Amino acid sequence: MAEKTIRRTTGKGGNYRPTKKGAGMTRKGVKAYRAKNPGSKLKTAVTGKVKPGSKAAKRRKSYCARSLGQLKRSSKKTQNDPNSRIRQARRRWKCADGGRMPDSLFRQLD
């Protein structure tokens, strides 16, 4: 039976970026994951400037839409905490709302 690895942000096996640095996996972490899982298409975050309509822009748009769904389903505490992992990751991906949940969605949830 395979040994379950522990998710760490520092030290040996630290393949995840700390929340303060934007959450998500590091480049080293993605490389390690792909080595363990041949055929994987896992990629790092799209953090730079991208041309509208490019593959990277489409990945960003897709991630932002997906993560907004996660944010909506999280607790009010997480939604309002600027240092939560999901908000930091959304900020790192440069989602249009800067990691926050748009005000229009707050009104829909109430």
With tokens 């009010």, the residue in question is: 76
CB 43 within 8 A of CB 57: no
**Position 107 pLDDT exceeds 60:** no
Instruction: Please report the pLDDT score of residue 50 as a whole number.
Output: 94
CA 57 to chain centre: 15
The C-alpha atoms of residue 47 and residue 50 are separated, in whole angstroms, by 9
The pLDDT mean for the chain works out to: 85
Question: Average pLDDT for residues 87-106, to the nearest whole number?
Answer: 80
- What tens digit of pLDDT does each residue of 3-34 get? 666 665 555 567 888 888 888 889 999 999 99
Whole-angstrom distance, CA of residue 30 vs CA of residue 59? 16
Of 70 and 1, the one with more pLDDT = 70
Residue 96 reports pLDDT greater than 90: no
Alpha-carbon gap, residue 15 to 17, rounded angstroms = 7
pLDDT at 43 over 60: yes
pTM attached to this predicted model: 0.76
Q: pLDDT tens digits, residue range 52-86?
A: 999 999 999 999 999 999 999 999 999 999 999 99
51: DSSP letter: -
**Are 90 and 99 contacting, i.e. CB atoms less than 8 angstroms apart?**
yes
